[in-house]
Structure 1
Amino acid sequence: MNDTLLWLLSAALIVAGLAGIVLPALPGTILVLAGIVLGAWIDDFTRVGAFAVGTVTVLAILAWLMDYVAGILGAKRAGASRQALIGAAIGTVAGIFMGLVGVLFMPLVGAAVGEYMARREHGQAVRVGIATWLGLMAGMLAKFVLAFMMIGIFVVALIF
C-alpha cells in the first residue's frame, strides 16, 4: 500500500478518535492510539520510537480508565443508587441517536430517572443526575486533554 494512503489512514484514525471522545459509539482514545501507532509503523518506528509509543499507550490507558471512573465517581459522590448508574448508561446509549445534545445530556436524564425510580425523591434524583453529568463532562475534558497530549507527543516525535 502507498505510504501516502497509510498517512491519510493514520490521520483519519486520529480525527475519528477525537470525534469518539464525544461520541460514545466510537472508542476515542483507542482510535487516536491506533492512528499514532500506524504513523510510527509507516516510518519503521524511526522517528516515533518505542519510548514515544509507550508513553502514548500509557496516556491512552489512562484516558480509557478516566472514561469509566469519572462518571461513576460523580454519581457515587452524590449517593447514587445502582439504578441511577444503569440509567446513566442507558441515557448515554440513547443519546447517540439524538445527536450531540443527546450525547451530552441524556446521561443526566438517565441517571435522574434511574435515581427517581429507586428512591422516588425528586431532589435526590436531580442531584444525582447533575453529579453524574458533571462527572461525565469532567471525564470527557480529561480525555480531550490526554488525547491532545498523545497527538502532541506524536507530532513532536515526527518533527524532531
Structure 2
Amino acid sequence: MDTAVVYYILPTALVLIGLAGIILPALPGLPLVFAGLLVAAWADDFTHVGWVTLVVLGLITALSFLIDFLATLYGAQRVGASKMALWGSVIGGIAGIFFMPIGLFVGPFAGAWIGEYYQTRKTGQATKVGIGTWVGIMLGTATKLALGLCMLGVFAIGWFF
C-alpha cells in the first residue's frame, strides 16, 4: 500500500472516530478530530494548512473541554445537584456505553438520580437532579458536535483558501 494512501486513511479514521467520540463518552471526541486534522496537514507537509489554522483548531479543541465541564456543571448546579450526583452521572454515562444506544441517554440520568437519591433520600430531588444533569450533558454534546463541524470547516477553509 502506498504511504500517501495511509497518510490519508489514518486522518480520516481519526476524524470519524473523533466525531463518534463526541457522542460516546469513552472516546476523546474532539482531540481525535484534532489529531486527524493535524496528521492530514502533516501528510501534506503543511502546504495547505499552516500553523495559524492548527492553532485555531487547537484552541477549539481546548474550548471543548471547558464546554463539556461547564455544561454538565451548569445543568447539575441549576437544580442543586450534590457531588455524589455528579459522580453518578459520570459513572452512569460510562456504564451506558454497554447498553447502546439507549444507555447513552439513560445512563447519565440514572447515575445522577442514584447519586442524588443516595445523598438526600428524596425521590423528587433526585429526579430533578437527574433531568438537570442529563439536559446539561445533552447541551454539552450538541455544542461539541457543533465545534467538531466548525473544526472541519476551519480546516477546509485553510486547505482550499
- Smaller-chain TM-score bracket: over 0.9
* Number of matched pairs: 160
Percentage of matched positions with identical amino acids: 44
Listed as ranges, the matches of 1:7-156 within 5 Å are 7-156=8-157
| C-alpha distance in 2 between matches for 1:91 and 1:56 | 30
Counterparts of 1:6 and 1:104 in 2: how far apart (Å)?
35
Cα RMSD of the aligned pairs, angstroms, is 1.0
Deviation for aligned residue 1:95: 0.5
Query: Which of structure 1's runs of 4+ aligned residues deviate more than 6 A?
Result: none
- Matched to 1:146, the amino acid is L
- Listed as ranges, the gaps of 5+ residues in structure 1 are none
Superposed CA offset, 1:43-74 (max 9, x none): 11111011100001100110122112211221
Task: Name the amino acid aligned to 2:107.
Answer: M
1: CA distance, partners of 2:65 / 2:116: 26
TM-score in terms of structure 1 length: 0.96
Distance 1:136 1:97 in 2: 18
Q: Equivalents in 1 of 2:26, 2:84: separation in Å?
A: 22
Partners of 1:132 and 1:144 lie apart in 2 by: 18
SS at match of 1:97: helix
* 2:160 corresponding residue in structure 1: 159
SS of alignment partner, residue 26 of structure 1:
coil
Once the two structures are TM-superposed, the CA of residue 86 in structure 1 deviates from its matched residue by 1.3
Shift of 1:138: 0.3
Report the 3-state secondary structure (helix = DSSP H, G, I; strand = E; otherwise coil) of the residue aligned with 1:44: coil
Give the TM-score normalised by the residue count of structure 2: 0.96
Gapped regions of structure 2 (runs ≥ 5): none
